[in-house]
Amino acid sequence: MRFHKPYGVLSQFTPEGRWRGLQDFIDLPGVYVAGRLDADSEGLLLLTSDGALQARIADPRFKMEKTYWVQVEGTPGEAALAALRDGVRLNDGPTRPARARRMEPPPAVWERDPPIRVRQRIPTAWIELVIREGRNRQVRRMTAAIGLPTLRLIRAAIGPYSLDGLAPGTWQAATVPAEPGG
């Protein structure tokens, strides 16, 4: 199934501290999240009842692309985008090359609650970033490494599955292919 995870929701059914869990949105026994998305990130989660399929979707060895829309503080120039495309050196090693482009015009997205912080004198921009890895907070660390801190992070797609037609907090059944990306 496809689920549009809102800001402030964990990628697990049980809530923790100030963060809500998936149980507030999904009442289906026996489904598990295939991959994670931080509570302060939004967007597409895939859930399945097939453990082997869950592992294939989440495991970077299978190279399923993940597409993110990233609102950053600052204006990305061609050098910053090229750095993302070449791979960025992080404290746990270099990232694989990514596809990166500035989103002009910015994507038409829903209002976030709470809204992002806005600084009057510092512009913001949107980047579409497509990666095949899934390290902890990787996208945020990649944009920070090129001097563009992430303000808002939305996962728009995982392989062939996207957020299309899903409002925040809603889910829809989906047939996941046996081989990711196929």
**Residues recognised as catalytic:** 38
Instruction: For residue 76, give the nearest of 23, 129, 116, 7 by alpha carbon.
Output: 129
> Could you identify the residue written with the tokens 């990233």?
70
Centroid of chain to Cα 93:
20
Tokens representing residue 169 in the block? 């907090």
- The C-alpha atoms of residue 27 and residue 91 are separated, in whole angstroms, by 39
Q: Give CA separation, 30 vs 23, 49, 158, 176, in Å.
A: 12, 6, 21, 16
Letter for the amino acid at 165?
A: G
> Could you identify the residue written with the tokens 């453990």?
51
